[in-house]
Amino acid sequence: MVKKYKSNFNYFCLIFVVNIIKAGIPSGYYDSASGLDDDNLKSALNNIIDGHTEFPYTSSGTDVWDILKVSDRDPNNSNNVLCVYTQYSMSAADEYNSGNGWSREHVWAKSHGDFGTSTGTGTDVHNLKPADVSINSTRNNRDFDEGGDAVTDSSPPTGYNGSTDCFKTSTTFEPPDSLKGDIARIIFYMVVRYEGENSEVDLEMVNYADSSPSGEPYHGVQSTLYSWHVADAVSSFEQNRNDVIYSYQGNRNPFIDHPEYANYIWGGESPTTNVEPTNHVNNFSVGRVITIKWTDPSSGVLPDGYLIKASSVGYSSITNPSDGTVENTTSTLKYVSYGIETATLSPLSKNNTYYIRLFPYTNSGSNINYKTDSPMQTTIVVN
């Protein structure tokens, strides 16, 4: 189970690589999911996140041990990892260690779908977490739900008293309140990522706990997991973990980036598409330094932003934007978010008069909705 011949140099190189990667959601990553709900959203998200780069479970090269050491690093001790369920901070180098270290927990239990630890579903790091060996064994392959007897670790690491804030029955396991949303969002990811394509398992949530799972690709309890997701908001630890795993696998957990997606798939909600904004801005003008300023409207349907278009020919050459189309930005075309109330156009040609119009809009991507009637306009002479 433990890689005996791996140099620590490989681990520290991996840490360095991840530290220089820019965090955050790539621009346009979720555009194809905009405005969708139910099975349509589930399908769109699957298309976005499937086909990820796979790593082996154990290897002399980069494997899931290495990635977990970075994705689940203790923010207060860079030499340690944080263990799921107990939140023990344990030495990252303590891989299993004859049962005295940490192991790799499959949050979606690998027996629920019988995918084991083979490269692919069994090594998807979004579903893996460092875990204390004994608590990993206690959780076993139980479904997630609330209630039962308190779980105590009889042999906790030095500095811990064995209290876990976890509970279990013969069929269910309840993690601490602070981790319930984390667990739910991992389960949601697995449901959306694995849809039975390319010989992969088709995973689904169910609303019951299985007393004797025998390989069926189901995990519960859906209603409980959804309530945990709602009650326990996404943490900065989850966001960083998502960024790190993306830097290796090339795919993200959508329910960390967009918690509302769970509401649209399992919560009976639908995304709201607003009508066009009610009002134009006030005090629309442009300074000689080509800094455009305005005062945002404060009533009615407020815009999400503005499209600014300029022309040196005349107002007649400025075409109205079309709903559902995001135009390419240029030196004379710019999008600005609501609340900024200023924009700069450059570089512009000298000795020209520029004609400028501003179009408020709501929504984004294919749902963008422009206000094009009687747009605010102004001119400026560039010397």
Burial class, 372, CB count within 10 angstroms (exposed 0-12 / middle 13-18 / buried 19+): middle
Is residue 62 predicted with pLDDT exceeding 50? Answer: yes
pLDDT value at position 3?
46
Is residue 182 over pLDDT 60? yes
Kindly tell me if the per-residue pLDDT of 166 is higher than 60.
Answer: yes
CA dist 222 and 99 (Å) reads 32
Considering just the CA atoms, what is the radius of gyration of the chain in Å? Answer: 26
Contact 321, 372 (CB under 8 A): yes
* Range in 63-72, 124-133, 256-265, 350-359 with the lowest mean pLDDT: 350-359
pLDDT tens figures, 315-324: 999 999 999 9
Dihedral, CA of residue 236, residue 252, residue 227 and residue 40, to nearest 10: 150
| pLDDT, the chain, mean | 90
User: Bridge partners of 382?
Assistant: 352
Q: d(Cα 284, Cα 343) in Å, to the nearest integer? A: 11
Residues 6+ apart with CB under 8 A from 96: 1, 2, 102, 103, 133
Q: How far is the C-alpha of 336 from the C-alpha of 39, rounded, in Å?
A: 33
- Long-range CB contacts (within 8 A, 24+) of 317-326: 317/355, 318/355, 318/357, 320/359, 320/370, 320/372, 320/375, 321/359, 321/361, 321/370, 321/372, 322/370, 323/276, 323/368, 323/369, 323/370, 324/366, 324/367, 324/368, 324/369, 325/368, 326/364, 326/365, 326/368
The pair of structure tokens assigned to 287 is: 């300074």
Superfamily of domain 282-382: Immunoglobulins (2.60.40.10)
Residue 186 to residue 190: CA distance in whole angstroms: 6
Report strand pairing: 89-91 vs 77-82. antiparallel
Is the pLDDT assigned to residue 293 strictly greater than 60?
yes
Residue 7 has a CB neighbour count (10 Å cut-off) of 9
CA distance 352 to 354: 6
Q: How many CB atoms lie within 10 A of CB 78?
A: 11
Residue with tokens 């976005």: 48
**Ramachandran category for residue 296: left, alpha or beta (phi over 0 → left; psi -120 to 50 → alpha):** beta
pLDDT reading at 9 higher than 50? no
Q: What is the pLDDT of residues 305-347, one digit of tens each?
A: 999 999 999 999 999 999 999 999 988 899 999 999 998 887 6
> At 259, is the pLDDT very low, low, confident or very high (cuts 50, 70, 90)?
very high
Q: What is the pLDDT of residue 350?
A: 76
Residue 146, SS3 per DSSP: coil
pTM for the complete prediction?
0.70
Quick check: 97 pLDDT over 90? no
* CA-to-CA separations, 195 to 50, 251, 318, in angstroms, rounded: 9, 16, 47
Please state which of the ranges 1-10, 114-123, 291-300 shows the lowest mean pLDDT: 1-10
- Each residue's pLDDT tens digit, 31-46: 999 999 999 999 999 9
Q: Using the structure block, give the residue that is written with the tokens 């957990």.
A: 253
Asked if the model's pLDDT at residue 253 lies above 70, the reply is: yes
pLDDT higher than threshold 70 for residue 1? no
Question: What pLDDT is stored for residue 99 in this prediction?
Answer: 72
User: Domain limits of the chain?
Assistant: 8-266, 282-382
Average pLDDT over residues 159-179: 96
